[in-house]
Amino acid sequence: MYKRLLLATDGSAHAARAAEAAIGLMKELPGAEMTIIHVSDEAPSRSELMQAGLDMKAVLEADAHKAIEETERRFQQAEVPFTLKVAFGNPADVIVEWSQKEHADMIIIGSRGLNAVSEVIMGSVSRKVLHHANCPVLVVKR
């Protein structure tokens, strides 16, 4: 039933807990595939782009590796293979679009993210994903 899992991460402590849940699920679901998605919501700077020979994907990938290094390391340590998907845009829109296009069976996401300053239970990205996704969403609270 759950074959194609999608972990959304911004590299925050909350998302790290979602990553642990994702690793645990992968261990219990033989044959399942994991995609980790990280969406940049800031356009790369001009100098970054120039340095990369105008290769937007390379810049996004470098930024993603920086932001979610620890998560990638945890997956490697746990020997759970994954595919990294990087994109630029509105995080919730990109996450939902990708999940639909690639027929994800479950989205795993933290309840809050990098901006967890207020007392609100869910951040705007997790709220929007939960609202618009057409597959089960695991919101990891703690």
Ligand X SMILES: Nc1ncnc2c1ncn2[C@@H]1O[C@H](COP(=O)(O)OP(=O)(O)OP(=O)(O)O)[C@@H](O)[C@H]1O
User: What is the binding site for ligand X (CB under 6 A)?
Assistant: 8-10, 12, 14-15, 18, 37-39, 41, 91, 109-110, 112-116, 123-126
What does 69 bind: Mg ion, ligand X, none (CB cut-off 5 to 8 Å by kind)? none
**Out of Mg ion, ligand X, none, which partner does residue 109 contact, by CB within 5 to 8 A per kind?**
ligand X
DSSP 77-142: HTT---EEEEEES-HHHHHHHHHHHTT-SEEEEESS-TTTTSS-SS-HHHHHHHHH-SS-EEEE--
Q: Which residue is nearest to ligand X (CB)?
A: 123
Q: 95: closest CA among 30, 3, 8? A: 8
Q: How far is the CB of 38 from ligand X (least distance, A)?
A: 5
Helix 13-28 and helix 56-77, axial crossing angle in degrees, nearest 10 = 60
Residue 116's binding partner among ligand X, Mg ion, none (Cβ under 5 to 8 angstroms by kind) is ligand X
* Of residues 84 and 116, the one with the C-beta less far from ligand X: 116
**Chain residue at closest Cβ approach to Mg ion:** 113
Q: How far is the CB of 92 from ligand X (least distance, A)?
A: 8
d(C-alpha 122, C-alpha 112), whole Å: 5
